[in-house]
Amino acid sequence: MSAAELEMSAGGSGAERLAEFARVSTADVDEAAEQVGRIFCRHDLKPVRAGASGFSARHNCASFDGFSISYVGYGGSVSIDPGCLERFFLVQIPLQGAARIRAGSSEIATAPGRAASLLSPTIPTRMVWTDCAQAILLLDRRMVEQRAAALSGRTSAAVEFDPVIDLATPTASSLQAKLDALMTLAERLGPSRSLSALATADWRETLLDHVLNHQRHDRSDAIRTFSGRAERLPRALSAARDYLAANAGEPLDLMQLARVSGIGIRALQLGFRRHFGRSISEMLRDIRLAHLHARLSQASPDASITDIAFDLGFTHLSRMAGDYRAKFGETPSATLRRHLS
């Protein structure tokens, strides 16, 4: 399959994503290995059959603080041997074609709707992609390990995941939806606009929460045990809620929130749902909606609702507008008009 054919392939989820973020587009194997290696890590890349035609490589990548989302596609059948990834974790969701992955002693066959992979930096990996395109989430290793330590109450150390993600499960469907939403957000912003610090922090929390609390790894049991120790302390939860209210204009930092409240991150997450009936992010959203209402009620005639919303960490404007109307009984624009009339 040529690069053009790979880009134009039909079939819904297999269509090219993040086209404005193109980093690599080539039919040369050596050039692809060098350029993709600069984005991920150095690796051996070669066609499975020497001299075979039809090779192509496409890599589009939107980077954020601590993570990135990529569309990577290879035409033909290629072997990829990065060894140990060292600096990052990779979640690979197949969009078309197929891949065979060996991660340590595990063998994985991935394909759209069937299975995906989660690669850990300390486990050696080899892959064969066949006319394959994947959505790839990169998570900084130190960020993941520090959060795992905070969740489990242990010192920071290597974390190793079960590399198989069963795409037929609700948890995997949720993860796939999150990565699709992240790509859609990046496409909407384009390369010239950056995500606000607030929105970036919210995305980091969403992604870390999913992989560490919903994907099996060697600290899962420790996190589950540690999370139950202090979740029945309303005073700690109230302290966390007050901290959110006082710092709603800052990026969400669950580690700091845990320090303020004096209990673990997972205990906070479970406690918020049990005591307040909502998640930490849902409560923070309500607080930020209140801030948005206050700012619109005092805004100048040339104020931009979009700019104010982005400044407060909202990235999905239609969802924000629906939440705002449910909370205040009117749209953001109606609040602004009423204030100016």
| Reported pTM | 0.72
The structure tokens listed for 257 are 């929130």
Q: Chain-wide mean pLDDT for the chain?
A: 88
Q: Would you state the pLDDT for residue 339?
A: 65
Q: Are 31 and 134 contained in the same domain?
A: yes
Residue 157, phi-psi category: left (phi > 0), alpha (psi -120 to 50), beta (remainder)? beta
Rounded mean pLDDT, 149-154 = 78
- The pair of three-digit structure tokens given for residue 225, joined into one six-digit string: 């045990």
Domain end residue (candidates: 126, 158, 189): 189
Q: If you average pLDDT over residues 263-284, what whole number do you get?
A: 85
**HSE on the CB side for 267, CA within 13 Å?**
26
Residue 73: per-residue pLDDT: 96
Backbone angles phi, psi at 26, to 5 degrees: -155, 155
DSSP 8-state class, residue 163: -
User: Do 226 and 151 meet the contact criterion of CB atoms below 8 Å apart?
Assistant: yes
Q: What is the pLDDT of residues 210-219, one digit of tens each?
A: 999 999 999 9
Q: Is residue 240 part of a domain?
A: no
CA–CA separation, 318 and 181 (whole Å): 13
How far apart CA 116 and CA 297 sit, in angstroms, is 47
Domain range for residue 335? 284-340
Look at the chain and report how many structural domains it folds into. 2
Reply yes or no on whether the pLDDT at 5 is more than 70: no
> Which residue matches tokens 């990135």?
68
Does residue 323 have a pLDDT over 80? yes
Per-residue confidence band for 34, with pLDDT thresholds at 50, 70 and 90: very high
Instruction: Please give the share of the chain, as a percent, with pLDDT higher than 70.
Output: 92
- Residue 256 in any domain: the answer is no
Q: 128 falls in which pLDDT band (50, 70, 90)?
A: very high
152, pLDDT greater than 90 = no
Residue 73 maps to a domain:
yes
Q: Domain end: 189, 219, 239, which one?
A: 189
Can you read off the two tokens belonging to residue 30?
Answer: 């050596």
Measured in residues, the chain has a length of 341
Give 168-191 pLDDT, tens digit per residue: 999 999 999 999 999 999 999 999
| pLDDT of the residue at 267 | 87
pLDDT for the residue numbered 6: 38
184 shares a domain with 327: no
Please tell me whether residues 24 and 153 are part of one structural domain.
Answer: yes
Per the model's pLDDT, the better-predicted residue between 180 and 290 turns out to be: 180
How high is the pLDDT of residue 231? Answer: 45
Spell out where 84-179 has E strands: 88-103, 106-110, 115-119, 125-140, 164-166
- Of 19-33, 232-246, 294-308, the range with the highest mean pLDDT is 19-33
Instruction: For residue 43, tell me if it sits in a domain.
Output: yes
pLDDT in tens, 74-117: 999 999 999 999 999 999 999 999 999 999 999 999 999 999 99
Question: What is the pLDDT, as a whole number, of residue 3?
Answer: 38
Write the DSSP assignment of 196-249 as a string of letters.
-HHHHHHHHHHHHHHHHHHS-BTTHHHHHHHHTSSTT-HHHHHHHHHHHHHTTT
Please measure the distance between the N-terminal and C-terminal CA atoms of the chain and give it in whole angstroms.
60
> CA 89 to CA 91: how far, in whole Å?
7
Predicted confidence at residue 108, as pLDDT, reads 95
What pLDDT does residue 141 have?
Answer: 95
Around 324, how many Cα atoms within 13 Å sit in the side-chain half-sphere? 24
Which comes out higher in pLDDT, residue 197 or 20? 20
User: Is residue 13 located within the same domain as residue 160?
Assistant: yes
Radius of gyration of the CA atoms of the chain, in A: 22
30: exposed, middle or buried (Cβ count in 10 Å: 0-12, 13-18, 19+):
exposed
Mean pLDDT of all residues in 65-76: 96
- Range scoring the smallest mean pLDDT among 105-119, 255-269, 324-338: 324-338
Asked whether residue 246 is domain-assigned, the answer is no
Q: Calculate mean pLDDT across residues 307-331.
A: 86
pLDDT at 14: 62
Domain boundary among 189, 216, 240: 189
CA dist list (Å): 225 to 116, 154, 197, 231, 270: 28, 12, 32, 11, 13
Is 23 found in the same domain as 158?
yes
pLDDT confidence bin for 227, thresholds 50/70/90: low
The pLDDT assigned to 341 comes to: 61
Identify whether the C-beta of residue 237 lies closer than 8 Å to the C-beta of residue 279: no
Tell me: do 13 and 159 sit in the same domain: yes
